[in-house]
Structure 1
Amino acid sequence: MTETEFFTLAQATLDRIEAAMDRLNDEDLVDVECRRSGNVLEIEFLDSGLKMVVNSQAPTQQMWLAAKTGGYHYQRAGEAWIDTRDGSELFAVLARLVGEQAGQPVSL
């Protein structure tokens, strides 16, 4: 994939995550606030103060997620972002982590 294609896809991914967090907040499933600066999206859970950060890494063409449970690196495979270590999918991992904060399962 070209650098331009990666940048477009990465921005769309960050947009999708931010919109999902806004929806969950609007539905009162979780009290969350997002802050975005360029290719970095910070997600803060206001009840616990826990933060997660999702950002794109152009040199490696990856999406990175930093959470209390650790750091995750996702490479594009077909239509999904797949973890380079365990093969999990970005949105599935985010849904699990956010659901843990919400105290109930959520879908992104």
Structure 2
Amino acid sequence: MNIKQFHQLAEALFAEVEQQIDTFAEKYDTDIDLESHGNVVTITFENQSKIIINTQEPLLQIWMATRRQGYHFDYKDNTWFCNRSHQSFKQLFTQAVIEQMEH
């Protein structure tokens, strides 16, 4: 993957994240704030906990920091996968959002 492809894939992921946050906020009738500044997306929940997602261009990775832990994602087979647990970004992101909304 080259840098241009990486940025296109990251932009697509960030757009998907924004859509998912809107869906969660509507479904759970809660206020979730999403701010995007360049290569960083910050999601703030009503309880003031945060999820931060950013690109790591030199490594061609997406990083996500949650209250529980940090994750590093590599792109393969048309999906972003955690390089430790091999779970997909979508699985870990959904789990993190639900956990952080509840606390």
Instruction: For residue 55 of structure 1, give the secondary structure of its aligned residue in structure 2.
Output: strand
More helix by share: 2
Give every structure 1 segment of 4 or more consecutive aligned residues whose post-TM-superposition deviation is greater than 6 Å. none
1:24 CA displacement = 1.8
SS of the residue 1:35 aligns to: strand
Which moves more between the two structures, 21-30 or 72-81? 21-30
| Counterpart code for 1:71 | G
Q: Is the 8 A contact 1:75 1:83 kept in 2?
A: yes
Number of residue pairs aligned between Structure 1 and Structure 2: 102
- Could you tell me how far 1:65 is from its partner in structure 2? 0.2
Contact 1:33 1:44 in 2 (8 A): yes
Q: CA RMSD in A?
A: 1.3
Structure-1 residue corresponding to 2:23: 23
Aligned CA distance change for structure 1 residues 99 and 20 (closer, same or farther; 3 Å): same
Gaps of 5+ in 2: none
How much has 1:29 moved relative to structure 2? 4.2
SS of alignment partner, residue 56 of structure 1: strand
Q: Per-residue CA shift, 1:42-92, capped at 9, x if unaligned?
A: 00001x110010111111000000111111000001111111111111110
Matches within 5 A, 1:67-82: 67-82=66-81
Identity of aligned residues (%): 27
For structure 1, list consecutive stretches of 5 or more residues without a partner in the other structure.
104-108
Measure the CA separation in 1 of the matches of 2:30 and 2:88.
Answer: 22
1:88 is matched with 87
Sort the Cα spacing of 1:75 and 1:9 in 2 relative to 1 into closer, same or farther, 3 A. same
TM-score (norm 2): 0.91
Post-superposition offset of 1:97: 1.2
